[in-house]
Amino acid sequence: MTHPMIGKVLQARYQIVQSLGAGVFGQTYIAVDIEYPENPKCVVKQLKVNNMHPSYLDDLRLRFLTETETLKRLGRHRQIPELIACFEENERFYLVQEFIEGHPLTEELPIHKKCGKIWSETEVIEFLEDVLGILDFVHSQGVIHCDIKPENLIRRAFDDKLVLIDFGSIQPVDFGEDTELPIHSVPVTSLGYIPPEQFIGQTQPNSDIYSLGIIAIQALTGLSPLEFKLDPYTNEIIWHSPHIAVNDYLAAILSQMIRYDYQDRFQSASEVLHILQEMLWETDVPSIQEVEGSLLVEQPATASRLPENYKSPKSPPLITGMKVGIATNSVLLGLGMYSVFTNSPAYSEKETLYQATEEYQAGDLKEAIALVKSIPSDSKIYPEAQATADEWQEQWQIAAKNYQLLETAASAGRWSDVLRIAANVPDILYWQSKTDKLVEEARNQVEAQTQDLLAKAYESANKKDFSGAIEYLRQVPINSSAGAIVQQKLAEYDQKQKIRATYFLQKAYNKASLGEFDDAMQFLRKVPKNTPVYVQAQMKLNEYTQKQRLRSQSSKVALSRSNSAPKKSRSDSRYF
């Protein structure tokens, strides 16, 4: 039976030629653009309308405006379909998007009838890097895709790049609705890819990372997601076994991507990308035996006497835990790493330099310099020691100056400045311990101020006063721990304010078309100043004010004429 929409032309331009099926949020079709001679294909999405009540349609219209603005931003990425048009026709809402020529990822996975080949590690890593790059952009725009699955990843024909489609399920990163996702409303093709938290309305950005990890494991194992076994005690997916050809690095990364509790997973796409790059670097590092020449490394007995707060450079915890057979031995001296070769200086001279380092970190610069100067000029470490002493004196002066600025800022209650200046204090234990006390107080003060401003911003946003909410957010100190949330909320409220302004303008047009200029002007006065449609709203406000004035004048003239017309006297009326 032919679908009733096949052959229909929307906006006198987009002719429906094929139905792609229905989802939770609406129906999707392939159409051709009959305005162009070559009739290029496009994708048309019809938003589901559950009832035709005016208030429901108004809410749906606002949601439609929100989604189209989001899709416009997302479409700037070359691996996301571009939004071509959006419109309302016969109280139905439509989106027109770029059609991607290619095939879905399902055709490449080993469970598909056309492909029986298990993916290699290289193929899986290339796949992850490709899609994680897209997700990093999507999440940076403040939205979560919510339906990452093979059907929604299209291998584009002309460049073999993966394209992420079907943003019908997108949600804002910090969306306020705790709506559960009923299992019966989830498409069968999405089952197994959706993480646990999404079913209870607690979707997170790393929910998309979970789904991506499932696809990668599917490619390595040949199993569908619903075939994976679960640990009955932890609910974690059991997938890694000896017969699966995957190194421990990649296995650990994939397991981290699909942890049952979203708090235990990677928290961002960029974090996973970084770990993958670390893994590739680590596996390319030659072993110690492959290093050309012989390197005899001596570990001094006084290494434990380095400052207690000294921290050597570290790889990310996950990579550190997976290192196998990579060994490095070095002596850490003051500000840098110093490899000791067979021609190392006498032990007593090294000991002197370590003692100097201890004095310097403890706060006795004078004694530290004296110890360094006691090292003989013919010593192998003399040049290095003298350079270190010069560096110490320079860093000490910088630390003393910055600490004085810190005290001044703290006395004046400029807590944000305290945090900013503290970052410039050199890493000297003596000065850091003094700085830490002021920093702790500053953080407490800044966080208290931040929480107060955030509370006011959320309260204003709940009242739909997005201008007020934005003003409060802009007062939040830039170095507070809520910096990321503030930037995200600023973008969210700015977008909502623009959409709300557009909504008010449209309502004003509707009222004016009915001749209800007073109501139209009330909507126009609600349009905030710092929105793109404000100038247009002011022009319409002047226009409707003038029309209302002319109408009032006409009414007064008509009333005046009616009152001035000759009237029959009561005495005369009896003759009629």
Q: Which residue type does 24 have?
A: V
> Is 529 labelled as part of a ligand binding site?
no
Residue 559 structure tokens: 């009333």
Distance from C-alpha of 421 to C-alpha of 404, rounded to nearest angstrom: 10
261 tagged catalytic = no
Picking from 25, 195, 192, 197, the residue whose alpha carbon sits closest to that of residue 109 is 192
Q: What residues pair up with 261 in beta bridges, in sequence order?
A: none
Identity of residue 336: G
**Nearest-10 Cα torsion for 326, 277, 127, 161:** -150
Say how many C-beta atoms besides its own lie within 10 A of residue 290's C-beta: 7
Residue 192's SS3 state is: coil
Q: How far apart are CA 332 and CA 72, in angstroms?
A: 53
Question: Which secondary-structure segment (H or E) carries 486?
Answer: helix 483-513
Q: What are phi and psi of 167, to 5 degrees?
A: -95, 25
Mark out the alpha helices in 229-381 (DSSP H runs): 248-257, 269-284, 317-322, 347-362, 365-373
CA distance 288 to 326: 7
* Helix/strand/coil for 394: helix
Q: How far is CA 265 from CA 271, 307, 537, in A?
A: 10, 34, 47
3-state secondary structure of 153: strand
Half-sphere exposure of 231 (CA within 13 A, CB side): 10
What are the angstrom distances between the C-alpha of 31 and each of 36, 40, 168, 515? 13, 8, 18, 38
For 363, left (φ over 0), alpha (ψ -120 to 50), or beta?
left
Contacts of 456 (CB under 8 A, 6+ apart): 468, 472
d(CA 287, CA 303): 25
Euclidean distance between CA atoms 80 and 531, whole angstroms: 27
254 three-state secondary structure: helix
Tell me the sheet residues that pair with 155: 103, 162
Catalytic residue among 147, 166, 208, 417: 147
- Residue 265 phi/psi, 5-degree rounding, is -85, 175
Are the C-beta atoms of 136 and 268 separated by less than 8 Å?
yes
Q: In whole angstroms, what is the distance from residue 54 CA to residue 57 CA?
A: 5
The 10 Å CB-count burial string (b at 16+, else e) for 411-449 is: eeeebbbbbbbbeebbebbbbbebbeebbeebbebbeeb
Please count the other Cβ atoms lying within 10 Å of the Cβ belonging to residue 224.
13
- Please classify residue 14 by burial: count the beta carbons closer than 10 Å to its beta carbon, then call 0-12 exposed, 13-18 middle and 19+ buried: buried
Q: List residues forming the annotated binding site.
A: 45
Active site residues: 147
Residues flagged as binding site for ATP: 45
